């Protein structure tokens, strides 16, 4: 009897040991599938890193908090190049490469071949779909390397890739060259449109979505605060001289009557939180209409929330308007996650959330607080530079364009006069150092032939491409902006306020945790590729993120 009891005890102990060991080694059942059914890439335009902790106490439990607490957060995540704009940001997130490789050196740049500005996704060779206007003439033709979505389509042609955004560039660049569709908002009509690069006609589900006229409804509303005004303690006073206004408003204060300011078009909702709500609803319709996440292969949905950027530009980082936009976005994200739980199944989808750039505080506000900041008069600087070059090299028009804090010289004119481009660039760079707000200058020659291994010059070099970038680069001091912004603010610098953005992973095969190790935006695409067991994007340096604390 004792022997039998002993044997039983040993058996039970072995069983418990085996069971415990099995439980420790077996993946979470929610993450047991070989591949996720759906990847959802979320880019929140102009989401500076500090916004999530700043508004944390006002967020609900199932939006940003769910992603942070149940996912993995890379808390020291940065852009590693200049310029920090929307086009380069989306391109780098999805290509895993910097502008020097993927070709997207700005939202626009001066194209010497056509002697005018080139918009980042403009393509005159495609036809507009869903509209008769040029708003539909967009494609990824200017993107010089593949995206993670391209690699997914190459590895699995049955996989669907759909991208949605208010901004055309926020949809086109993530969709990549091989995406099934990219859809963006046309403010004139209140509809979502596309181009013949992707589709020959809008799918029925999108036509039905446009027929719901949600945009027209939102554009007829009054924007009130979500919470009582006295609860916006994380923001400054509602009425401040640093903020912009809608056309028919006397002051930048709530409530904002959109109907009274919209005119005959519906673009106004882009500058309100309703633009984000519209995109969240479109994302749900795309999941249902395209049966995303319902098959045996991995699908990809790119969602870019752009209204945070429009509101941030108009009102600045400390405005009640911006906080209200994020509180509403938090609820939009919660609703989207809940929808994914129902349609795809919790644990069956992978979410990545980041931003395309940060933003600087309103310079005048910085000045009033005795913090570094100011306004750079680029018109004055460029005009005086032109006169200097005429004095130095002859009475010619030496400057072709100025954009993205870069001077584009007439290289043909320099050559025709037998001058050294290197010398002319350096003379111009040295001259520009005298202007207030300029921290440093550098030249295309140096970025082409020198090698900067660290610091801000290395960031500029990673954003440089000889045939698309300028000849002379101006780096402004911290807190400085071009004087084109009498109210509101912008971005585009190599400073932390523009480079430090959140990076969150949640869902399929993602452990809970966080790290303060420094990471970079170009690590996102190769990490997702590695998780999906597909080829890395062509320009990626293959630096995979580690989910370790």
Catalytic residues: 86
- Tell me which residue has tokens 């890439």: 41
- Tell me which residue has tokens 């020291």: 76
User: Using CA atoms, how far apart are residues 382 and 407, in angstroms rounded to an integer?
Assistant: 8
Helix axes 307-315, 320-343, angle to 10 degrees: 170
Both tokens assigned to 115:
């002697």
Beta bridge pairs of residue 76: 518
Backbone angles phi, psi at 266, to 5 degrees: -130, 20
User: Using CA atoms, how far apart are residues 540 and 94, in angstroms rounded to an integer?
Assistant: 10
At 443 the three-state DSSP class reads strand
Backbone angles phi, psi at 393, to 5 degrees: -125, 0
Count of alpha carbons within 13 Å of 76, Cβ hemisphere only?
6
Cβ–Cβ < 8 Å for 406, 469: yes
CA-wise closest residue to 184 among 304, 47, 43: 304
Could you say which DSSP state residue 255 is in? Answer: -
At 121 the three-state DSSP class reads coil
User: Using CA atoms, how far apart are residues 201 and 221, in angstroms rounded to an integer?
Assistant: 31
CA-wise closest residue to 35 among 265, 347, 445: 347
Question: Strands 161-165 and 181-186: what pairing?
Answer: parallel
Cβ–Cβ < 8 Å for 441, 477: no
Backbone angles phi, psi at 503, to 5 degrees: -145, 115
Beta bridge pairs of residue 211: none
- Euclidean distance between the first and the last CA atom of the chain, given in angstroms as a whole number: 52
Both tokens assigned to 183:
């859809």
Cβ–Cβ < 8 Å for 385, 431: yes
Cβ–Cβ < 8 Å for 305, 45: yes
Angle made by CA atoms 438, 405, 495, in degrees to the nearest 5: 65
Burial of 492 (0-12, 13-18, 19+ CB in 10 A): buried
Cβ–Cβ < 8 Å for 357, 47: no
Both tokens assigned to 149:
């979505």
Beta strands in 396-482 (DSSP E): 399-403, 406-409, 438-443, 472-476, 480-482
3-state SS, 316-375, equals CCCCHHHHHHHHHHHHHHHHHHHHHHHHCCCCCEEEEEECCCCCCCCHHHHHHCCCCCEE
User: Using CA atoms, how far apart are residues 118 and 109, in angstroms rounded to an integer?
Assistant: 5
């Amino acid at each position: 009897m004792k022997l039998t009891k002993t044997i039983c005890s040993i058996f039970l102990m072995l069983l418990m040991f085996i069971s415990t060991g099995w439980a420790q080694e077996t993946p979470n059942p929610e993450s047991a599938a070989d591949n996720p059914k759906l990847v959802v890439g979320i880019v929140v335009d102009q989401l500076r890193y500090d916004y999530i902790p700043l508004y944390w106490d006002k967020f609900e439990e199932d939006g940003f908090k769910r992603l942070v607490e149940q996912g993995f957060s890379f808390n020291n995540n940065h852009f590693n190049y200049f310029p920090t704009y929307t086009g380069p940001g989306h391109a780098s997130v999805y290509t895993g490469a910097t502008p020097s490789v993927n070709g997207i050196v700005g939202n626009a740049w001066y194209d010497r071949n056509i002697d005018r500005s080139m918009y980042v996704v403009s393509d005159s060779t495609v036809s507009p779909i869903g509209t008769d206007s040029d708003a539909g003439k967009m494609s990824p033709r200017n993107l010089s390397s593949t995206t993670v979505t391209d690699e997914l389509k190459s590895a699995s042609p049955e996989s669907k890739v759909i991208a949605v955004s208010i901004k055309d560039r926020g949809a086109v660049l993530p969709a990549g060259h091989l995406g099934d569709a990219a859809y963006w908002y046309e403010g004139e009509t209140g509809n979502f449109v596309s181009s013949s690069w992707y589709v020959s006609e809008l799918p029925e589900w999108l036509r039905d979505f446009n027929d719901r006229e949600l945009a027209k409804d939102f554009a007829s509303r009054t924007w009130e605060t979500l919470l009582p005004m006295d609860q916006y303690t994380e923001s400054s006073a509602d009425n401040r001289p640093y903020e912009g206004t809608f056309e028919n408003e006397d002051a930048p204060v709530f409530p904002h009557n959109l109907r009274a300011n919209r005119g005959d078009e519906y673009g106004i909702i882009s500058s309100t939180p309703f633009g984000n709500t519209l995109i969240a609803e479109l994302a749900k319709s795309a999941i249902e209409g395209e049966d995303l996440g319902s098959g045996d292969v991995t699908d990809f949905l790119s969602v870019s929330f752009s209204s945070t950027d429009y509101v941030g530009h108009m009102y600045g980082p400390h405005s009640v308007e911006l906080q209200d936009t994020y509180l509403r976005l938090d609820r939009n994200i919660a609703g989207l996650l809940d929808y994914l739980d129902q349609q795809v199944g919790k644990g069956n989808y992978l979410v990545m959330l980041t931003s395309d750039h940060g933003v600087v505080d309103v310079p005048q506000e910085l000045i009033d607080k005795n913090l570094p900041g100011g306004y750079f008069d680029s018109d004055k600087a460029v005009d005086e530079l032109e006169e200097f070059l005429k004095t130095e090299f002859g009475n010619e028009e030496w400057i072709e364009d100025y954009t993205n804090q870069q001077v584009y010289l007439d290289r043909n004119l320099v050559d025709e006069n037998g001058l050294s481009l290197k010398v002319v660039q350096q003379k111009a760079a040295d001259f520009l150092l005298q202007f207030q707000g300029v921290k440093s200058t550098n030249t295309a020659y140096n970025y082409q032939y020198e090698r900067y291994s660290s610091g801000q010059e290395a960031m500029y070099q990673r954003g440089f491409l000889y045939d698309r970038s300028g000849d002379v680069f101006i780096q402004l001091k911290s807190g400085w902006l071009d004087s084109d912004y009498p109210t509101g603010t912008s971005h585009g610098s190599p400073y932390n306020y523009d480079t430090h953005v959140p990076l969150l992973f949640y869902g399929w095969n993602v452990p809970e945790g966080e790290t303060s190790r420094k990471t970079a935006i170009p690590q996102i695409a190769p990490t997702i590729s590695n998780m999906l067991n597909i080829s890395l994007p062509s320009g990626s340096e293959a630096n995979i993120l580690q989910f370790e604390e």
